[in-house]
Structure 1
């Protein structure tokens, strides 16, 4: 029996090379592949944890995406999820035989929703199995991993998307539209605050080997990515400071609180906070000569709310963010559409390059140049 917990504990990524393969004829898929909105993206969820539960529930409202496969190291989950979402046994896999997805016409893409340290190898494996890949963020543990993932997907001729759900969020996109229309005038400043008090000290998010860090990798990436899409430029330098009040809970290499500053070529400054030790932090603020925009909450599961110098934002999502995300990703993969804000692997690599620089700046106290 191969449980997901055992798989994670053993960290046997380097050993994931040869697997038993279940073969069956590559016949036409029995799943519905078209509806009134267009072709349907057939998705296998890999890693059936808490966030995958949220994604699966949201996908029940999708018009362009359907759960047709499952991958888990826990047989009980494969059974219960398979029954709940009508996924037949032949479309259920564990981490040892997941490469058999290659022969399955019922699956177009695999959504990797595992602890961060597993993303790199699993994305490369699934692309090698001939499937498009959607990966949760952060895409990898560092920029080197991210670049390898992008290169592997390109070599396989498969697309790599990343779960940047906020890139499709209506209120966020309205602020970006206003910025592009010049309604804020010359931009001067951005502030991004993201944090919460984390609970269970034994969870994988507080294990450097699995998470790759601490709050910055989990919640701070929203402030970082938000600074980029709200400002609309790529930063050219970064400074950072780390504070740790509980070295027992937040062990070496697991950041509790990091403040970081970004400088943009247009002269805009961004000041951001990432923490696992403070609640009530979910706010973006963009300031310009002629106006401002504030989103609060800005990166939570919703609903995102906001206001500008013109008053409250009237745009608000009527569907879960993950529903909107998966339908939009189906359009990207099946129709070749371009999102307003990119969600591809290259976009994720840009975040990882900056995350590497933030950790370096926090450690050295130096101002790190980017690009």
Structure 2
């Protein structure tokens, strides 16, 4: 019987290589204001004004209440009003597989905030717990399954997507089983515990003509996306280095994340993956080499099977590097900084569910200027789930398909090989894109 998670399971070529001529001082000030406050206000206005995706816009607009405009649209940011949601019967239904901490504390509450998605079924090895949760979220008793009756989901027309929230080594099994019964799959990260398992998941969904998306929530988070846009717009100049760390001091030596058979590793696949995926996503670049070390404190019962810490340096073409660290034995700390020849951007804290902070620095009128960019909080889980629902509705490829998880797994295996051999390990460049089209902000 699958072990349900008891704590959170998470977690295009850049044009930044051409340096423009230095602008006049007045022009530099204007660009700075556009990049920081004014440009961001415009981006936020566009995001908050987004409407539902094309498949549901008519139904949503028909039920929307229209109010008169009381602010000057030429000088004021558009009022942030709730978008009309799809009616319950038009939403994409999800079966949540595994009712551990991440599902209870993050995913199910996020589904309550989604515009285009709903919880339609639960799968758990503890029926008493599952029935209690079903009552909380309005799921009928007949839509509560155990792992042995999983295939009965095939007969539940309310379920279009299976969200796999199980220990890492079980991701392959339940993704393949879901595809075989005709369901799309949203799978938590890391995608699996081996390259072979990742490829099997991709193949199973492709053969069944079902969509597979990996839940890289940070790729749908507005601040992370804003930094990626800075890179795309060449606001930082040629990129030089990326520095990141993700650490937490774990307890309970019996938890599944410290069991190698279930987790596949320690700090690297759970929290180190955030550093790895962030540099790939934000810069749009792929590493070609890695050198790494892992650590395991002596006589610590938590780390009998998996590493406590990992340090790795990724080398990229044209001299760009990423220095990353992750630890299961250090006090909570999560941050990254991307440095370019003309500026830098950082998040501290980064990677978390909430409380994120973004700062941006560059030279203005001969002075080092630092701006903190503030964005209204948004639920990352709701954003990624609604993106999957939009892809199902529109028959579109998800932004983070299985190929994205597969590439991260390839790199993690190279990191472990480098740590084992003490040598730099080459990393093959993907032969095709690992991400789908950029998410349409109108679906959020």
Give the TM-score normalised by the residue count of structure 2. 0.74
State the distance in 2 between where 1:313 and 1:279 align.
25
1:140 and 2:215 aligned: no
Q: Which moved more, 1:147-156 or 1:306-315?
A: 306-315
Q: Is the 8 A contact 1:233 1:264 kept in 2?
A: yes
State the distance in 2 between where 1:97 and 1:180 align.
47
1:46 and 2:97 aligned: yes
Dislocated runs of 4+, deviation >6 Å:
none
Q: Deviations over 1:350-371 (max 9, x none)?
A: 0000011111111111111011
Aligned counterparts, 1:61-140, within 5 A: 61-140=113-192
Q: Deviations over 1:132-184 (max 9, x none)?
A: 00100111001111011111110111000111100110011111111100000
Q: Which moved more, 1:143-152 or 1:34-43?
A: 34-43
State the distance in 2 between where 1:266 and 1:337 align.
34
Q: Return the match for 2:337 from 264, 281, 285.
A: 285
State the distance in 2 between where 1:224 and 1:249 align.
27
State the distance in 2 between where 1:248 and 1:120 align.
31
User: CA offset at residue 252 of structure 1?
Assistant: 4.9
2:427 corresponds to which residue?
370
2:21 corresponds to which residue?
none
2:310 corresponds to which residue?
258
State the distance in 1 between where 2:391 and 2:339 align.
32
Q: Return the match for 1:334 from 393, 404, 419.
A: 393
1:158 and 2:210 aligned: yes
State the distance in 2 between where 1:283 and 1:185 align.
21
User: CA offset at residue 67 of structure 1?
Assistant: 0.3
State the distance in 2 between where 1:100 and 1:41 align.
18
Q: Which moved more, 1:224-233 or 1:44-53?
A: 224-233
- State the superposition RMSD in angstroms: 1.8
1:201 and 2:201 aligned: no
User: CA offset at residue 314 of structure 1?
Assistant: 2.8
Secondary structure of residue in 1 paired with 2:329: coil
Q: Return the match for 1:322 from 381, 386, 392.
A: 381
Q: Is the 8 A contact 1:303 1:316 kept in 2?
A: no
User: CA offset at residue 315 of structure 1?
Assistant: 4.5
Q: Is the 8 A contact 2:240 2:320 kept in 1?
A: yes
Q: 5+ residue gaps in structure 2?
A: 6-58, 61-83, 363-369, 429-444
State the distance in 2 between where 1:122 and 1:64 align.
24
1:350 and 2:407 aligned: yes
Secondary structure of residue in 2 paired with 1:227: helix
